[in-house]
Amino acid sequence: MLTRLPRLGVSLPRLLCNPPARFVSQSKASGSAGAASVTELHPPEEKSGHGEVSPYVKNPDYHGFSQDPVVDEWNMRVGFFFGISVALVIGGAFVHYLPDHGMREWARREAERVVLQREQEGVPVLSEYYFDPEKIVLPSSGEQ
């Protein structure tokens, strides 16, 4: 996902700035001279005495969980505890106990076992041949 960000280039700041607030209609309106009309995206709300108050006015520390400030702060703390602390601990334990995917640990143990076996037998640990040349059967020059 992050590899796609450079493709946006210069247009990324323009996308992140203020979203469009209105649309311009280019269709011909009936009864007018064909001028472009501007319409609001959201119609303005009527001003009344008992309008809804923003939660940020009621509670400056509003976190978006509840209208009640005590419940909002409690839900925020619980959410962050489970979202961050528990996820890091359980996630770290899960990654730690994943099986040896590349069989690296097994390969190391097997190599150490083979080295000990060859040292006990008195055979060199590494030889210049991958296979034992005495066991390789080569075709004669006439069979090619």
- State pLDDT tens for residues 42-77: 665 666 666 677 766 777 788 788 888 888 889 989
| Whole-prediction pTM | 0.33
* Residue-wise DSSP of 85-143: IIHHHHHHHHHHTS--TT-HHHHHHHHHHHHHHHHHHT--SS-S-SS-TTT--PPPGGG
Q: How confident is the model at residue 113 (pLDDT cuts 50, 70, 90)?
A: very high
**Three-state DSSP class for 33?**
coil
37-40 and 22-25: which strand pairing? antiparallel
Place of tokens 């069979």: 143
Average pLDDT of 9-32?
Answer: 58
Question: How confident is the prediction for the chain on average, in pLDDT?
Answer: 76
User: Helix-strand-coil percent breakdown of the chain, rounded to 5?
Assistant: 45, 5, 50
pLDDT of 72 reads 86
Instruction: Specify whether the CB–CB gap between 106 and 96 falls below 8 A.
Output: no
Burial class (CB in 10 A: 0-12, 13-18, 19+), 69: middle
